[in-house]
Amino acid sequence: MNLSIFFEPLNEDAFPGVNKVRTLGTYINRFISKFPDWRSADIALLGVQDNRGRGDQEAQDNTPPPAREVRKKLYNLTKGTGQCQVVDLGNLRPGITLEDTYLRLKEIVEVLISHHTIPLIIGATHDLEYGQYLGYEHLERAVNMVTIDSSVDMTEDLGATPNKKQLRQILMHEPNYLFNLGQIGYQTYLVEPEVLATLEKLHFEAYRVGQVHHNIQEMEPVVRVADLLSFDISAIRYQDAPGQDEANPFGLTGEEACQLCWYAGLNDSLTSFGIYGYTPAHDTRSLTATTIATMIWYFIEGYYHRKNETSFTNKNFTKYAVAFDNESDKMLFYKSKKSEKWWMEVVALSEEKGSRIVPCSYNDYLMATKGEIPNRWIQMQARMG
């Protein structure tokens, strides 16, 4: 498939000094005159400049492309210790309508993940994650999604802009292939109680920003289960990311955002990653662009430290069986000898649905040894039915 017809090439003059020795700009093959060979790449960057999700046509016409500002910072970062088979496809040409843009993004994501290349999307508004999600429809299997956001974009308000209700679109989409949704970093005073009740009813995981502050390591299993992940910049506090429409003095720190991106890169199952909501017009000192560039750096570096831990039958895992006093059943846990990460086996309520081995934390194992069933186990079993 000729993907180049969907993209606008980059203007090399906009990125001075990006070819310095040992910088990422030296290693990333960019679409300037010749479209890069994305089939041989591990990760493909692409910008999506479509602001219509925030209901602002004027912004669509006049706002600087967010991906351009991020690229200026990213290309000048020093390359990490891993490889760097990364290409930059340029900026996706917006569709005539916002729905057309979703469908174009769907097609790009579908093609890239089919060829085992991870699309790394820098999008203007968070509703574009809907197009990212649609790219998984062809797989014909259930997928797991994680979104990092200060709010939960599931409002039923008919007058709301698209970037406030894309999660509802995802939940209502037919065919329904969403198995699990993890929400990280929400702030309770920004979310309607009915929305949180819906997440609980569906047995989805949701974590307040305070829980992330308290123990960010507990977010690693949440991220590790994801097939696709989206990150709204509004989840980061204003001090570290002022380039956003909904500035908030509370939220994730830039360091926590980078840690979560590192977890995403390490995730063997993750096949697409989107960063949304950056508004360059509010970023007078390019601090947000620097934060996002660093987040991408950590994602790329994490990718090249993956352990390929997907089989639990080999000698690289230690198996633990935890028995309960009043029950004959045992809870099984697996610990990797390479990464020291944990998984647990969850048995479905219905015998014909079998069991699943899912990511967990060491704390989940400790709870089981004390006779308590981890909440993560209960939620997974409920989703399995």
Lookup: tokens for 125: 């508004």
Residues 166 and 199 sit within 8 Å (Cβ to Cβ): no
> Same domain for 192 and 273?
yes
| Residue 377 neighbours by CB under 8 Å, 6+ apart | 331, 344, 346, 360, 364, 368
> Same domain for 205 and 328?
no
**What does the alpha-carbon distance between residue 156 and residue 83 come to, in Å, rounded to a whole number?**
45
- Whether 276 is in a domain gets the answer yes
Among residues 272, 303, 334, which one ends one of the domains? 303
| Residue 195 neighbours by CB under 8 Å, 6+ apart | 152, 154, 155
Number of H helices, E strands in the chain: 13, 14
**What does the alpha-carbon distance between residue 380 and residue 385 come to, in Å, rounded to a whole number?**
9
For 55, phi then psi, to 5°, come to 70, 35
- Whether 310 is in a domain gets the answer no
> Same domain for 133 and 70?
yes
* pTM listed for this prediction: 0.95
- Whether 127 is in a domain gets the answer yes
> Same domain for 148 and 294?
yes
> Same domain for 201 and 344?
no
How many other C-beta atoms are found inside a 10 Å radius of the C-beta of residue 211?
15
- Whether 50 is in a domain gets the answer yes
Residues 41 and 113 sit within 8 Å (Cβ to Cβ): no
Residues 358 and 205 sit within 8 Å (Cβ to Cβ): no
- Whether 243 is in a domain gets the answer yes
The one-digit pLDDT tens for each residue of the chain (385 residues) are 789 999 999 987 767 667 778 899 999 999 999 999 999 999 999 999 999 999 865 555 556 788 999 999 999 999 988 789 999 999 999 999 999 999 999 999 999 999 999 999 999 999 999 999 999 999 989 999 999 999 999 998 888 999 999 999 999 999 999 999 999 999 999 999 999 999 999 999 999 999 999 999 999 999 999 999 999 999 999 999 999 998 899 999 999 999 999 999 999 999 999 999 999 999 989 999 999 999 999 999 999 999 998 788 778 899 999 987 766 678 999 999 999 999 999 988 877 778 999 999 999 999 999 989 999 999 999 998 7
Lookup: tokens for 378: 């209960």
The pLDDT value recorded for residue 328 is 65
pLDDT tens-digit profile of 118-171? Answer: 999 999 999 999 999 999 999 989 999 999 999 999 998 888 999 999 999 999
Largest CA distance in the chain: 71
**What does the alpha-carbon distance between residue 143 and residue 225 come to, in Å, rounded to a whole number?**
9
How many other C-beta atoms are found inside a 10 Å radius of the C-beta of residue 323?
12
**What does the alpha-carbon distance between residue 299 and residue 99 come to, in Å, rounded to a whole number?**
29
> Same domain for 298 and 357?
no
CATH number, residue 270:
3.40.800.10
Lookup: tokens for 78: 């020093």
> Same domain for 286 and 322?
no
The three-class DSSP label of residue 220 is helix
List the alpha helices (DSSP H) in 234-374.
Answer: 254-266, 287-303, 362-369
Task: Look at the alpha carbons of 282, 286, 287, 290 in this order and tell me if their dihedral is positive or negative.
Answer: positive
- Whether 311 is in a domain gets the answer no
> Same domain for 295 and 373?
no
Could you tell me how far CA 174 lies from the centroid of its own chain?
22
**What does the alpha-carbon distance between residue 225 and residue 358 come to, in Å, rounded to a whole number?**
7
Among residues 273, 303, 333, which one ends one of the domains? 303
Lookup: tokens for 315: 């000698």
- Which residue has 């590192």 as its token pair? 262
> Same domain for 237 and 366?
no
For 120, phi then psi, to 5°, come to -115, 105
Domain count, the chain: 2
Q: Where are the beta strands (DSSP E) in 33-94?
A: 43-48, 86-92
pLDDT tens-digit profile of 62-87? Answer: 567 889 999 999 999 999 887 899 99
Of 96, 117, 119, whose CA–CA distance to 47 is shortest?
119
- Whether 308 is in a domain gets the answer no
- Whether 216 is in a domain gets the answer yes
> Same domain for 279 and 375?
no
For 95, phi then psi, to 5°, come to -80, 170
**What does the alpha-carbon distance between residue 7 and residue 41 come to, in Å, rounded to a whole number?**
17
Rg (CA), the chain: 21
Of 223, 255, 250, whose CA–CA distance to 234 is shortest?
250
- Kind plus residue range of the DSSP H or E element containing 99: helix 98-114
Among residues 278, 303, 328, which one ends one of the domains? 303
> Same domain for 205 and 333?
no
Q: For residue 207, what is the DSSP state?
A: E
- Which residue has 């989409």 as its token pair? 173
Domain with 341 in it: 317-384
> Same domain for 176 and 63?
yes
Lookup: tokens for 207: 């974590």
